[in-house]
Structure 1
């Protein structure tokens, strides 16, 4: 699996079009059961709304894909929401857009634009993470080489997960799989082979607030 866009935390967005309110709730899901339970929860929360239109995808290759217009004219709600979802590159994700009718008909084009805009607003208010396959690598070095190694790692945008100080220094770093071998050669050359490198295995990681989040299991 290459780089993977993951909805790490859901969010809510809202737009108003000709007094109609469109409220988008976005959430990560791992199964159809989770999706249906979330939809039911939103229906209960906004029990007095006219429409609850949704789309969701789940599975390693988006095998599960569903959408619903929930009473809106065919093709004006569920499909546009699904297009936003698939266009975003997100996986294992559900968007449900609740509409409170404002008294003015929007027409098919207006509905498509409104549901599209609401879905995008929901994603914009969520936490989306780029998940990167990487080698979790332990680097051991003398203190004299620490500054040089840290400079190279910083220059190349390498994430340091942990730093331990003892007789020497141990850095646990996350080397993107496609550049790991090249990065290690660079560090070995820069320290005249004084650095010790231990492969800690393959992981996937993303960044949340400047901190790495590790995914050691599969991404469903």
Structure 2
């Protein structure tokens, strides 16, 4: 899920309100902070059920029924997160992670039964994910390219148009460092250096700047 404002979505089932909030989180503390925030905001709600998935291998998975019958809320929410494919296929790197879902329930006076609760909590999360902005997160090699200030905008545009992931610029007294990321593959890096040479008449070079997780909007892939 993309960083940014929370995604909120409401589902009404037999007069019960299910308010889902999704947030990009990096660790368990951030996930539990979201739950605490929503307990304060929706202080009069009966249930604040939650589920979250963390890590590139989705090694951390937690769920909480918060007073609903065991297995009818948190677990269906977690399964909805785990089933959501971000568009890259059935490999771990293409599956959803680093996200917390909280469903706040206001009881409407009509009992839903165990099956009804499972369906409602699962659908609440699934329908929220359907409108959430998602990104693909990859471990990528980072580089900078030093160019004159007046050339930075054109170079960044050309590289972006060629399909490279840009990571932002930094500015020095005499030059701009244009940042970009690419797969840690020697042939990809060599091709990028050739492209850079053609754009700068051989004056600029790729300078390694480490590795990091980089987000790419799915629409751009």
Structure-to-structure mapping, 1:36-47, within 5 angstroms: 36-47=32-43
Pick aligned residue for 1:137 from 144, 152, 163 = 144
2:209 matched residue in structure 1 = 201
Q: TM-score, normalised by structure 2?
A: 0.68
Aligned Cα root-mean-square deviation (Å): 3.7
Return 5+ residue gaps in structure 2 as ranges.
85-94
**What are the Cα deviations for residues 94-140 of structure 1, in whole angstroms up to 9, with x where unaligned?**
21111111222333333222212222344456554433423223054
Structure 1, gaps ≥5 residues long: 209-220
Partners of 1:50 and 1:101 within 8 A in 2: yes
Asked whether 1:159 is paired with 2:166, we answer yes
How many residues align? The count is 200
| Corresponding residue for residue 90 of structure 2 | none
- 2:180 equivalent to 1:174: yes
Structure number with higher relative contact order (C-alpha < 8 Å, ≥ 6 residues apart): 1
Tell me the residue number matched to 2:15. Answer: 19
Relative to its length, the structure with more strand (as a share) is: 1
Match of 2:52 in 1: 56
